[in-house]
Amino acid sequence: MSDTFAAVKEVIADVLKVDVDNITPETRFIEDLQADSMDQFFLIDGFCEKFDITISDEDARTIQTVKDAVDYIESIT
């Protein structure tokens, strides 16, 4: 498990109040974690804060799974 994956899981667990053990790379934010648009905003904000990055609205729309988030973060850090 990569450090990025572990950190992304921490953000997700904190924002969505879910057990980190239930988060896999294939976990989908909307379908599996029932994240609504406000949750998604807070997730992106959490990723930006945790990794000291900026994610554009356009890029944020492409992040649908945990793996998407990890891959995106790793590609820009």
Among residues 3, 21, 36, 52, the one annotated as catalytic is 36
Is residue 45 part of the annotated active site? The answer reads no
DSSP assignment string, 17-75: T--GGG--TT-BTTTTT---HHHHHHHHHHHHHHHT----HHHHTT--BHHHHHHHHHH
Q: What residues have CB less than 8 Å from 50, skipping those under 6 apart?
A: 7, 10, 11
Give the catalytic positions in this structure. Answer: 36
